[in-house]
Chains A and B, each alone.
Chain A
């Protein structure tokens, strides 16, 4: 079974600075997808960024980028030029390609952005 681990329950960053959220996972599969989701306070959870394991290039979405290290099974999220609206709970998630009927989520990291 796959597992996803986020070892940082809480992180904080100053507005306009850069922060990196960590995620590691365990799987015996070679092809899979990884994701970061954002859950703002009292608002719906949304998908932030998606990485396909067979792609070596790291995914980027505006100020959000990932550092995908397949051999190390590491998938960190970098938020550049942090904004107050980035404050949220962030979840890392995994989906198998072969048995992709569910997502496996990490424990979550609560990000605080200080003005």
Chain B
């Protein structure tokens, strides 16, 4: 069974802090994704990665960066957290050769920025 894990279920940070959200998948998937989920807005793609050290901007990359040093790990970085980055963050990964919609999602990290 594919497992996508996220380092924290809940996180509270202060404005201006550097925040790392970690995502790990155990099935050698090449494609990994970071979304944020907000009430009334659904899921929006922040960044995605096709392979190690590769990254592509999604629809809302401003204020975020990512790191993919190893295939199994995709990190989302908030360089200087702001209150408008309070949200639920979902990570996902996709098996090679399968269509985009067959993403496996993690349980999510609820981030509160004070």
Q: B-contacting residues of A (Cβ < 8 Å)?
A: 4, 6, 9, 33, 35, 42-47, 50, 91, 93, 95, 100-103, 105-108
What are some 16 contacts across the A-B interface (CB < 8 A)? A33-B101, A42-B107, A50-B101, A91-B43, A93-B101, A95-B101, A101-B48, A101-B56, A102-B45, A102-B48, A102-B59, A103-B43, A105-B43, A106-B42, A107-B40, A107-B41
Give the complex CA separation of A95 and B59 in angstroms. Answer: 14
Q: Which residues of chain B from 9 to 43 have any CB-CB distance to chain A below 8 Å in the complex?
A: 39-43
Looking at chain B, what size class is its interface with the partner chain? 20 to 34
Q: A-contacting residues of B (Cβ < 8 Å)?
A: 4, 39-45, 48, 56, 58-59, 90, 99-107
Give the complex CA separation of A106 and B40 in angstroms. Answer: 9
Q: Could you say which residues of chain B place their CB within 8 Å of the CB of A103?
A: 43, 45, 100-101, 103
Q: Interface SS of chain B: helix, strand, loop or mixed?
A: loop
- In the complex where A91-B43, A102-B59 touch, is A44 in contact with B106 (Cβ < 8 A)? yes
Q: Could you say which residues of chain A place their CB within 8 Å of the CB of B90?
A: 45
Total A-B pairs in contact (CB under 8 Å)?
50
Give the complex CA separation of A103 and B90 in angstroms. Answer: 14
Nearest chain-B residue to A33 (Cβ)?
A: B101
20 A-B pairs besides A42-B107, A44-B107 with CB distance below 8 A are A4-B42, A33-B101, A44-B4, A44-B104, A50-B101, A93-B101, A95-B99, A95-B100, A100-B99, A100-B100, A102-B45, A102-B48, A102-B58, A103-B43, A103-B45, A103-B101, A105-B42, A107-B40, A107-B42, A108-B42
A40 to chain B, nearest CB (A): 11
A109 to chain B, nearest CB (A): 10
Nearest chain-A residue to B38 (Cβ)?
A: A107
Give the complex CA separation of A9 and B104 in angstroms. Answer: 24
Give the complex CA separation of A84 and B42 in angstroms. Answer: 23
Nearest chain-A residue to B41 (Cβ)?
A: A107
